[in-house]
Chains A and B, each alone.
Chain A
Amino acid sequence: MLEINKLNAQVEGKQILHDLSLTIKPGEVHAIMGPNGSGKSTLGNVLTGRDGYEVLSGEITFNGKNLHDMGIEERAREGMFLAFQYPVEIPGVSNMEFLKAAVDARRKHLGLEELSSFDFMKLARDTSSKVSLDPSFLKRGVNEGFSGGEKKRNEIMQMMLLEPSLCILDETDSGLDIDALQVVASGVNAMRNSERSFIVVTHYQRLLDFIVPDYVHVLAGGKIVKSGDKELARELEAKGYGWLESEVA
């Protein structure tokens, strides 16, 4: 599914990721934890090809394709999805219009026909109810005037509609109350299957009580300093990150 081999990457001339390697197989859920500034969000941005995130060396293959040659939208259409930590607003563009354009682009890439407006509307309504968003949100501008929790649920709705093969959740739990967290987690869990993989980037162990990962990696100073199973997350919760950093040093 995803193979990262000795990745070095920089942002604005500053190297953030150092020799990072990670292999994710279909159906696996990997949690990435780590202190602030450890490079967690950078990883998601590098994978999705965001401007300003420069790969210095190393290789990333996704579904057997070298990401180096693929633009942002190509990677997305290939099935890579990033749920944003801070989703931006696009005033005046209705959620429905935006989602349809996104789904059409993905379907076209997969060689499928575009959905009719009628079928899409039905699908979008069904999906919005799965994340407890009122269908009226489909008519509103993308994230326009949404609360923090509504924005995150909107992200999960987009993820459900696009049916990506790799979902990267970038601190989706930040700023969520416990009810919203459960909605988001159950949305993610409903999507788990033997084909689809997840990278769950989070600061806190709390989210991992709801989305139980197969692997937990600790990122510090731009490299993976420790990997383990879900028990590692609990250990981190109890002991903090300090002991790992000193262990590495």
Chain B
Amino acid sequence: MSEQVSGNAQVEDLMRKDYAAGFHSAIESDTLPPGLDEDTVRFISAQKEEPEWMLEWRLKAYRAWREMAEPTWAHVHYPEIDFSSISYYSSPKSMKNRPKSLEEVDPELIATYEKLGIPLHEQAALAGVAVDAVFDSVSVVTTFREKLYEAGVIFCPISEAVHKHPELVKKYLGSVVPQKDNFYAALNSAVFSDGSFVYIPKGVRCPMELSTYFRINELNTGQFERTLIIAEEGSHVSYLEGCTAPMRDENQLHAAVVELVALDDATIKYSTVQNWYPGDKNGKGGIYNFVTKRGIAHKNARISWTQVETGSAVTWKYPSCILKGDNSVGEFYSVALTNNFQQADTGTKMIHLGKNTSSTIIAKGISAGRSNSSYRGLVRMNPGAEGARNFTQCDSLLIGDQCGAHTFPYIENRNASAVIEHEATTSKVSDDQMFLCQQRGLDAEKAVSMIVNGFCREVFKELPMEFAVEAGKLLEVSLEGSVG
């Protein structure tokens, strides 16, 4: 208890202090002209003063990417992306271009933040406002870091890890998602800007939920994030990703890679609330979110993905588990909500290699407006997966009559002893349910959000408490205007 109190006192103390210079090395005018070639990759690497091996790693990825074709199998439609028209390195927005205060930020955006109950200084951080309050929240990070340091946990930007922990980065970067894994992963490997690095030593239970909430300003992650989490034997970590507010971003393409390594008996719980800008009511603008997330679970290890996806114009994302070690466990809990003209093609891959491995997939898709939501999942039992089990449940909920829900399950079983179960339902928010709610005095929007939240309950209960509350509110905001 005393530790907690002193921690808070310390935070408050830090909040009162002026921004300590040097915390941020503000890079100015480092935005590259559009286009991607080897020089671009060299430039990015040089900007980060990377060692030679890192540059070589990036170049290898770039050369592979050049030979690859963009995937077209997903159930999403969007105009062709011109990869030569994108700038691959945009430094943090320069101070003078940022909004000076919240008054300069789009009031609609602020209204949304308020509905989500996001504290003022975080609102500022999310909107990219260059005010001292933003840096206060960075100071909070420092306090947390000290506490983590005592436990031996490393939690830092991946660019810093390249310099400070090269042996770990060399060993694990690309070990789960190889450079040539897929088109977007290759692109990310070549040009990734920054991201998080987490290392939990053997037997350590990480003393707090690691959250990206506090690093929004610090990292200014940009469009190509790279995250690497390593949990040593018997360790335990819960990582929360994303902010629960729409982030306006001038970049249309977001191609991140997340790699998780859970060594023997380790547990990694990775929770995401994704709410990138989904485009306007007419389907104009919005983020293309093409993300590769994968974890490898060694003996008796457990990897759990929980995601709530409400943002982005197009989502292409399949957080996956490679269940390599015997008795390892993979879990995927997902809520994907699409409204207006959003499209989501999301699901998971559970690759069972070890004996008695087990996986659970609970996927909830909600479609409103003219949107399309697809579940795409692969369950593969390799010949060595004796006694492996999978349970999959896919539920789709439709709101209105102009949206679509699709399910694409792929099952590959090469072991006769494996057990695979798949359940799927599609339902509508019924008139009877709406009438019951309204007859009890609830307005139509509250009724829909309540029914939808109920539908998602199984997934929400997997989220850390405060995230679950925010996720509920987020659905409410995302569904606005979907009824009546």
Contact = CB atoms under 8 A, between A and B. Distances in A.
A76 B453 contact: no
A93 B451 contact: yes
B458 A72 contact: no
Contact of A141 (B430, B431, B440, B454): B454
Nearest to A161: B440
Contact of B438 (A72, A90, A97): A72
B441 A88 contact: no
Contact of B456 (A87, A92, A102, A158): A92
B436 A101 contact: no
B455 A87 contact: no
A162 B432 CA distance: 20
Contacts of B432: 88
Interface stretch (B208-216, B351-359, B382-390, B442-450): B442-450
Contacts of A71: 438
Given A50-B435, A76-B440, 10 more contacts: A51-B431, A72-B435, A72-B439, A82-B439, A93-B454, A98-B450, A102-B440, A102-B441, A102-B442, A109-B441
A-B pairs with lowest CB-CB distance, top 4:
A92-B454, A93-B454, A105-B441, A92-B457
A217 interface: no
Nearest to B446: A101
Nearest to B364: A92
Interface string A169-183: 000000000000000
A91 interface: yes
Contacts of A87: 436
A88 B440 contact: no
Contact of B441 (A76, A92, A97, A141): A76
A88 B443 contact: no
Contacts of B441: 73, 76-77, 102, 105-106, 109, 162
Interface residues of B, number: 23
Interface in B147-174: none
Interface of A: 48, 50-51, 71-73, 76-77, 81-82, 84, 87-88, 90-93, 97-98, 101-102, 105-106, 109, 141-142, 158, 162
Nearest to B427: A91
Contacts of B456: 92
A90 B442 contact: no
Nearest to B436: A88
Interface string B455-476: 1111000000000000000000
Interface in B14-45: none
Contacts of B450: 90, 93, 97-98, 101
A72 B444 CA distance: 9
Among B437, B457, B458, max chain A CB count under 10 A is at B437
A76 B454 contact: no
Contacts of A92: 453-458
